[in-house]
Each structure stands twice: as C-alpha cells, then as structure tokens.
Amino acid sequence: MEYTENMTFEEASHALMKDLKTRLAELHGHFDAQNVDWHKLHLPLAKLVSEETQKSIGSPEVVEVRPKELECDVVRYQNNKERWVALVGLLNGHPYEIFTGLQDEDEGIMLPKSVTKGKIIKTVLPEGQKRYDFQFVNKRGYKITVEGLSEKFNPEYWNYAKLISGVLRYRMPIKHVIKLVSQLQLTSESINTWKVGVERALKNYLKDDEKVKYDESLAKLDNDVKGEASKEIGEGV
C-alpha cells in the first residue's frame, strides 16, 4: 500500500481497509486447515485500531467511576456585573465535571485571586452521603480545603451542574456540550445567567478553530438581538 501527498483522508482510509482485508484473507487461506482461534487475532487488532484512533483524534477514554481526586482548573468570569467562578474537574486533561457559582462568601465561594488550580475531592461520609471538597495550595505552601461545595452554591445551580457533569463524564465533545447548554430552555433569569457562565467556562477547552466559530456565533447572536431591539424601538415610535 502506497500513500501519496495528494491522497485525501477518505482515499487513505479506503486503501488501508482494502490492504487489511487482503492480508487477513491471506492469513485465513494459510491457516484455515488448522484449528485457529481467530478471535486471538481479530479482537486485539480491533482494540489496537480503537486505541490508535483515540490517540490520533485526542478522544479521551470514558471513565464511569469517578476517581477520589481530580485536578481542577479555576475559571473566573463576569456575568451581569456579578463575579462568578467555575471549578472544572479534569481527568487526563479533559473536562470531567463542572461546578459554578458566585464569588461570594455568603452565597458562593471566595478564593484568593492567585488560585488558578486545585483539586476536587470526593468524600463518602459514614452515613453514606457524598461530599465534594475543593483543595488548593496557598502562597505559603499550605493546603487549604473548602468543604461541602454543594452547600456553597445555589442548589439549583448545583443540580444543573450535576447534569452537565454527567454529559462531560461520558465524553461528549465540548462543542456539543456547549450547544446543549445553550439550548436549555430556562425561565429564571438567574439560572440563564448561570447557563451563560457554563458556556464561557467550557469555551476554554475548545480547540482554536472551534473557539473562533464560537466567538463568531456569539457575535451574530448579539447583532441579531440588537437588531430586534432596534426594530421594536422603531415600531414603538
């Protein structure tokens, strides 16, 4: 099988499959007279192809059982003059869960500005209840643990965050997760503010070309909204 510089991906894939089928047929022809367990060849081969494909496209493996500790990015942003924070749990560098809320001591979580990373630790209490804590290292090198994240954020935000985290856990591509979040039909103004925040936080994990498309779509949406507003004002006059 020979590849040329002008060969497209589809042509290269077709050539590879054709060559693979030919070589497998040769193996069958040679060993058919023997008592051969072809699964010993086919299954490892399929596994190898799957693993190599995941490596080439950067597709992360699905891990259903959450590790006790996850590395975490701290993403800060502003929504409607309010300061928000998102804690994005990472597994092998990919978003695995997300928790968001206000940067507020009473109704959210307040962290030093220098904190950009940490850990989200899952703790199972003696009663069987689960708790998520955030731990970071301060400037002096001491570990600081903020216990009970679910108690720090608005319960409604927390429940929606669990929903989005479930989608991330099964490795839906980030651009599709953002689209899913943007299409949520929510009536509360505050929860819609939360929704925009989640989109902004997840945008950090898009590929460069995907970020450009996302920014273009936001700009188009903003222009459409302004156009509708101008139209309504004109009609009112």
Alpha carbon distance 145, 149 (integer Å): 10
Which position has the higher pLDDT, 119 or 58? 119
Model confidence pLDDT, tens digit, residues 61-80? 778 788 999 999 999 887 77
Alpha carbon distance 69, 122 (integer Å): 6
The helix/strand/coil state of 56 is: helix
Model confidence pLDDT, tens digit, residues 136-166? 999 999 999 998 887 777 777 777 888 888 8
What letter does residue 73 receive in the DSSP assignment? Answer: E
Q: Where are the beta strands (DSSP E) in 41-170?
A: 69-79, 82-91, 94-102, 117-124, 130-137, 143-146
Q: Tokens standing for 147?
A: 């216990």
Alpha carbon distance 69, 89 (integer Å): 9
Alpha carbon distance 15, 9 (integer Å): 10
Helix 155-169 and helix 189-203, axial crossing angle in degrees, nearest 10: 40
pLDDT of 58 higher than 60: no
Identify the pLDDT of residue 71: 96
